[in-house]
Amino acid sequence: MMAQHTGGSGRRFHPLSAPDFLPRGKLELLQLYRLQETVHRAYANVAFYREQMDKLGVRPEDIHSMDDIRRLPMTVKTDLRDNYPFGLFASPMREVVRLHASSGTTGKPTVVAYTREDVEVWTEVMVRSFVSCGLHEGDIIQNAYGYGLFTGGLGAHYGAEALGATVIPISGGNTDRQIMVLQDFGVTAICCTPSYFVHIIERARELGVDIRSLPLRAGVFGAEPWTEAVRKHVEENANIKAYDIYGLSEIIGPGVAIECEQQDGLHLFEDHFYPEIISPETGEPLPDGEEGELVLTTLSKRAMPLLRYRTRDITRIIPEPCPCGRTIRRIRRIGRRSDDMFIIRGVNVYPSQVEAALLEVEGTLPHYQIILTRSKGLDEMEVQVEVTPNFFSDRVSELENLRNAIARAIEHTIGIRAKISLVEPHTIERSMGKAKRVFDKREG
Ligand code: DLL
């Protein structure tokens, strides 16, 4: 059946892409088989899931159809933190070949684990992602996602190598060098966050480099929300096709869903990750096509299976088949979340982390606002903080010291240097209900 599926270029798809085109019936059987295995594995090996399932009176043997998934407990981010670091692992440590962790330099990160088989599945979904963007053996891929505990760098790296492409593991940052490599190494595709690529375009212009004239033809952009306006901007200014890739560390990393050549929704690798859409308020499942919070169940993860993980990402399932021929369903691009997390320069930040950092510094009040802006494609973060009345002196040096102490505390907690503005007591508007902390003025 593989021979029927050719890309726009007439090339045969990579053999690993076969599950993208399975007849629905076969796919659904595979999902059920894998769900049953996953539930058995979680129940047998993870005390947290055993307790949750016992509480709900459901046993692994009770899963007879995919609809029975609704009988299973949901998992939320704090469950990962509460079981820090290894409490949700279903494999003994000797089988765990890799750990990653969520961003944030102090505080408890969320830790995720992979067995050798998990790394193979991750590699497979990344190969399928690249194929979906029209990439193939012979492509030269500049991987500017961060390498390290963040899943972007290594996830894309393994996929690019297994595809048969040449991967340049440049990681993030050092924009001038990125541009030199883009020019000199014959790069045909780049992987990074969309905002970083906007910055690369700006900087190239300043340096007098015309990205439009380079062999670069595709960008695989994700790890943060972006819009059609940004797509148009980068496609026009770099003469490339820009594809949206979605993923999250808890589920595997990048490679949960990706656009195809239609660029109209992201195909979700349903044979490995089972999607549900729920109402973020009530937790009730919503029918296909309705917008709500994406909930994912891993179907093949061994080291850290997650049942009904609440991603907090808002989207909807597109039930209609895609003209590309893939049978795995699509989700709409993710534009917002149901919680207050924001993403700045690829780092996930909760306002509560900023608040915790502020409270460490004497002389501040827990009244603050976070203002996000974008300048030349680079995200900037300003924190406006109220100073206690007795501290609000006009001795400039003391205020300067306070500003530095706050900046250091925030950088220590989230790894990002923010601009700090000290304001007089009672200048930040008090809210009657839920305080609005974050003002996101980054357009696009
Ligand atoms: O950002 C994994 C990744 C790396 C995805 C590289 C794509 C490319 P986390 O750091 O755990 O993992 O952050 C996951 O980022 O829940 C979304 O809120 C957001 N996110 C990721 N991709 C997209 C996207 C990686 N394409 C969180 N559009 C997720 C919108 C995205 N939001």
The model's pLDDT over 312-338, given as tens digits with 9 standing for 90+, comes to: 999 999 999 999 999 999 999 998 898
- The confidence score (pLDDT) of residue 432 equals 65
Structure tokens at 277: 């859409």
Statement: residue 1 has pLDDT above 80 = no
- The confidence score (pLDDT) of residue 434 equals 64
User: Ligand 1 center to residue 227 CA distance, Å?
Assistant: 14
Phi, psi of 425 (to 5 degrees): -55, 145
Average pLDDT over residues 369-397: 85
- The confidence score (pLDDT) of residue 394 equals 63
The response to whether residue 259 sits with its C-beta less than 6 Å from ligand 1 reads: no
Q: What percent of the chain has pLDDT over 70?
A: 94
Average pLDDT over residues 3-31: 81
- The confidence score (pLDDT) of residue 270 equals 98
Strands (E), 216-308: 218-222, 241-248, 253-259, 266-268, 273-278, 292-298
Q: What percent of the chain has pLDDT over 90?
A: 77
pLDDT tens track for 46-60: 999 999 999 999 999
- The confidence score (pLDDT) of residue 397 equals 79
- The confidence score (pLDDT) of residue 107 equals 65
Average pLDDT over residues 381-404: 84
Shortest-distance Cα residue to atom 4 of ligand 1: 152
Shortest-distance Cα residue to atom 9 of ligand 1: 248
Taking the C-alpha atoms of residue 140 and residue 240, their distance in angstroms, rounded to an integer, is 14
Q: Which residues pair with 218 in a beta bridge?
A: 189, 241
- The confidence score (pLDDT) of residue 393 equals 66
> Which of 81-90, 347-356, 383-392 is the least confident region?
383-392
- The confidence score (pLDDT) of residue 6 equals 55
pLDDT band for 174, please (50, 70, 90 cuts): very high
- The confidence score (pLDDT) of residue 436 equals 80
User: Ligand 1 center to residue 263 CA distance, Å?
Assistant: 18
- The confidence score (pLDDT) of residue 86 equals 98
What is the DSSP code (8-state) at residue 329? -
Shortest-distance Cα residue to atom 28 of ligand 1: 225
- Is pLDDT larger for residue 424 or for residue 183? 183
User: Ligand 1 center to residue 262 CA distance, Å?
Assistant: 21
- The confidence score (pLDDT) of residue 179 equals 98
The response to whether residue 253 sits with its C-beta less than 6 Å from ligand 1 reads: yes
Peptide bond into 280 cis (omega under 30): no
Q: Are 414 and 360 in contact (CB under 8 A)?
A: no
The radius of gyration computed from the CA coordinates of the chain, to the nearest angstrom, equals: 23
User: Ligand 1 center to residue 126 CA distance, Å?
Assistant: 14
- The confidence score (pLDDT) of residue 387 equals 86
Q: Which residues pair with 368 in a beta bridge?
A: 385
- The confidence score (pLDDT) of residue 407 equals 96
- The confidence score (pLDDT) of residue 3 equals 39
Which among 334, 338, 344, 345 is the best mutation to test ligand 1's pocket, defined by most ligand atoms within 8 Å of the CB? 334
Statement: residue 11 has pLDDT above 70 = no
The response to whether residue 248 sits with its C-beta less than 6 Å from ligand 1 reads: yes
- The confidence score (pLDDT) of residue 127 equals 98
CB atoms within 10 A of CB 238: 24
Taking the C-alpha atoms of residue 429 and residue 36, their distance in angstroms, rounded to an integer, is 52
Which among 151, 248, 314, 341 is the best mutation to test ligand 1's pocket, defined by most ligand atoms within 8 Å of the CB? 248
Structure tokens at 20: 């993208």
User: Which residues are within 8 A (CB) of 416 and not within 5 positions of it... i.e. 6 or more apart?
Assistant: 344, 345, 347, 349, 381, 410
- The confidence score (pLDDT) of residue 176 equals 96
Average pLDDT over residues 206-214: 97
- The confidence score (pLDDT) of residue 346 equals 84
The response to whether residue 244 sits with its C-beta less than 6 Å from ligand 1 reads: yes
**Domains of the chain as residue ranges with CATH:** 1-338 (3.40.50.12780), 342-440 (3.30.300.30)
Residue of 273, 314, 274 lying closest to 291 (CA atoms)? 314
- The confidence score (pLDDT) of residue 2 equals 39
Q: Are 95 and 115 in contact (CB under 8 A)?
A: yes
- The confidence score (pLDDT) of residue 4 equals 46
Taking the C-alpha atoms of residue 164 and residue 73, their distance in angstroms, rounded to an integer, is 40
Phi, psi of 10 (to 5 degrees): 85, 0
Q: What's the mean per-residue pLDDT of the chain?
A: 92
Average pLDDT over residues 170-192: 97
Statement: residue 398 has pLDDT above 90 = no
- The confidence score (pLDDT) of residue 363 equals 81
